[in-house]
């Protein structure tokens, strides 16, 4: 079976590629840079080149991961060019190639916006009301997905909550913390350390993506989350216990987000009904992050 991953050399794309190869799939990829013969070098916004690639590969499944992962990306219009126009280009290419693969559109929990604590954990029927451009552009991609689903494409939406693992950049909080502890840094600047978030190991996330594509019906929406929430204070405690090192935390107003809910917890019951469960505890994820920065992974 031929599988295509857009954004294959991104953080999650690399893990998904490894997972699918181990399951016996023929894996092809699209990325801005190619490192092997099965990865095609193009930008998701290049409609003509994308169309040619889809026509040549004729994949049975597509995992659409290509996007801008940084919530604080400087150029706002880039979010919409990549997440909306890029997604539109992909669906148009599939239609013109006269194929009908199963397609996973990887969205984000940011589409939910600010959700009152009494309505948490957040289920898939929670209204979509994003409060940042990252979430808004991903929501635009979801709306485009619904339109093409109505046209007959077999599209499923995954709304991913926070996920992490070895190899993620230090612009994300857990790799930033793990690197600081691995290097025995004396001090670190952080924003609010009391907010609680749902974290999942990336290796569990890619298993969830595969299960959704294999088991879910077209047009469905799934939260991808562990169902367990942790504060940054919790993470600091785990890191101290693992490394035996203590870091002085310097509170920095500049690192605090203007819109930052105290609690953001996901409901994964719909995903669990497919047979998925998170297999890697957060303590192991943190140990592996430390191992990555110590050169052990």
Per-residue model confidence as pLDDT tens digits over 129-180: 999 999 999 999 999 999 999 999 999 999 999 999 999 999 999 999 999 9
pLDDT at site 255: 61
In the chain, where does the domain assigned CATH 3.40.50.720 lie?
2-165+200-227+265-279
Residue with tokens 């559109």: 105
Per DSSP (E only), the strands in the chain are 2-6, 26-31, 39-41, 61-64, 102-108, 154-160, 162-164, 187-190, 196-201, 221-224, 229-231, 248-251, 263-264
CATH 3.90.25.10 boundaries in the chain: 173-194+230-264+288-293
Contact 209, 104 (CB under 8 A): yes
pLDDT tens for the 297 residues of the chain, in order: 999 999 999 999 999 999 999 999 999 999 988 778 899 999 999 999 999 999 999 999 999 999 998 777 678 999 999 999 999 999 999 999 999 999 999 999 999 999 999 999 999 999 999 999 999 999 999 999 999 999 999 999 999 999 999 999 999 999 999 999 999 999 999 988 889 999 999 999 999 999 999 999 999 999 999 999 999 999 999 999 999 999 999 987 666 666 678 899 999 999 999 999 999 999 999 999 999 999 876
Beta strand 2-6 with 26-31 is parallel
Whether 178 contacts 235, CB under 8 Å: no
What distance, in Å, lies between the first and last C-alpha atoms of the chain? 30
Tell me the fold of 2-165+200-227+265-279.
Rossmann fold (3.40.50)
**Fold of domain 173-194+230-264+288-293:** UDP-galactose 4-epimerase; domain 1 (3.90.25)
Write the burial class of residue 139 (CB in 10 Å: 0-12 exposed, 13-18 middle, 19+ buried).
buried
């Amino acid at each position: 079976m031929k599988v295509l991953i857009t954004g294959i050399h991104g953080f999650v794309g690399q893990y998904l590629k490894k997972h699918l190869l181990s399951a016996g799939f023929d894996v092809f990829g699209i990325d801005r840079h190619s490192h092997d013969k099965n990865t095609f070098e193009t930008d998701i916004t290049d409609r003509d080149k994308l169309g040619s690639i889809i026509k040549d590969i004729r994949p049975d499944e597509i995992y659409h991961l290509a996007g801008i992962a940084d919530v604080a990306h400087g150029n706002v219009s880039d979010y919409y060019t990549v997440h909306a126009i890029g997604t539109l280009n992909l669906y148009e290419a599939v239609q013109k190639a006269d194929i009908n693969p199963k397609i996973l559109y990887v969205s984000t929990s940011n589409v939910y916006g600010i959700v009152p604590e009494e309505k948490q954990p957040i289920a898939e029927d929670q209204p979509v009301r994003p409060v940042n451009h990252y979430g808004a552009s991903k929501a635009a991609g979801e709306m485009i997905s619904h339109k093409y689903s109505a046209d007959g494409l077999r599209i499923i939406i995954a709304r991913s909550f926070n996920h992490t693992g070895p190899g993620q950049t230090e612009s994300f909080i857990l790799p930033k913390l793990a690197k600081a502890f691995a290097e025995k840094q004396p001090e670190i600047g952080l924003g609010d350390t009391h907010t609680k978030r749902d974290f999942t190991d990336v290796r569990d996330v890619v298993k969830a993506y595969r299960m959704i594509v294999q088991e879910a019906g077209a047009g469905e929406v799934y939260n991808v989350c562990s169902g367990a929430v942790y504060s940054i204070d919790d993470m600091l405690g785990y890191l101290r216990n693992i490394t035996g090192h203590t870091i002085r935390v310097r509170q920095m107003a500049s690192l605090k987000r203007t819109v930052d809910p105290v609690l953001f917890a996901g409901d994964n019951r719909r995903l669990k009904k497919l047979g998925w469960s998170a297999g890697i505890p957060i303590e192991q994820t943190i140990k592996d992050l430390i191992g990555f920065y110590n050169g052990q992974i």
